[in-house]
Amino acid sequence: MQGPDIQLFVTCLVDTMAPEVGRASVNALEATGRTVGFPEGQSCCGQPAFNVGLWDMAREMAAHTLDVLDGTEGPIVVPSGSCAEMLIHHYPALFAETDRKEQASRVSERTVELTRYLTSQPEAPAASCDGCEVAYHYSCHGLRGLGLAETADQLLEGVDRVELEGDTECCGFGGLFSVEMPSVSTAIMDDKLDKVETSGATMLVGSDVSCLMHMEGGLRRRGSDIEVKHIAELLEPGDA
């Protein structure tokens, strides 16, 4: 029996905090005519530890992820620019001087972020959101690490968008940065949310659950009724 065409590496936050994003990602991928696998045993990619300099811990977590993913076939699709960049760019560096060098390269070469994969497929579903005025936040890792601005714009062509000042500026989350420096993180977020509210958007959309979770928390504390969605949730076939 033939295995799935592509593998979904769903990320920790999607798995634990936003399973609806995982389901939407599967639906969007299946709309391209592909079959989607979910490798058993997947866990954290190690990025939080890597970002604070705990490279040995990050390497241990990454080694587990390599073993899980290297035993599969086909593209490894990740609905997160930050985690995708970890696998694509940082895994080869982490294991460059180890016996896992080739394994890290194999996984890196197969990994692709969700919006980039979808825009490479002619059958990708179009985004839809009737009655919405969408502001889009370009997350730091996806934008600067993977150059994903154009992929999001392509997928959102059929959606009414509003201009968001500072749409490429950091939301303030930054993983453990928001825990270690909460006052700075909150100040950056508040500036971002001031601009979101000024834009007239009824929905804030992005491609990283981490950023969206951070900003949604801020919006809810303000009493805002602006909806917050991952881009995959606008791509579900038949969704409006």
Confidence of residue 12 (pLDDT cuts 50, 70, 90): very high
Residue 235 dihedral angles phi and psi, to the nearest 5°: -105, 0
Mean pLDDT of 184-207: 97
Say how far apart CA 36 and CA 231 lie, in whole Å: 18
In this predicted structure, the answer to whether residue 238 has a pLDDT above a threshold of 70 is no
Does 200 score more than 70 pLDDT? yes
The number of beta carbons lying within 10 Å of the beta carbon of residue 167 is 18
pLDDT of 141 over the 70 cut? yes
Which amino acid is located at 206 in the chain?
G
Task: Tell me the pLDDT band of 21, cut-offs 50, 70 and 90.
Answer: very high
**pLDDT of the residue at 239:** 42
* The pLDDT of residue 177: 81
Helix axes 101-110, 55-70, angle to 10 degrees: 70
Residue bearing the bigger pLDDT, 20 or 174: 20
What does the pLDDT read at residue 237? Answer: 60
Percent of the chain with pLDDT over 90: 89
Amino acid found at 188:
I
Q: What is the pLDDT of residues 144-182, one digit of tens each?
A: 999 898 999 999 999 999 999 999 999 999 877 888 899
The model's pTM is: 0.94
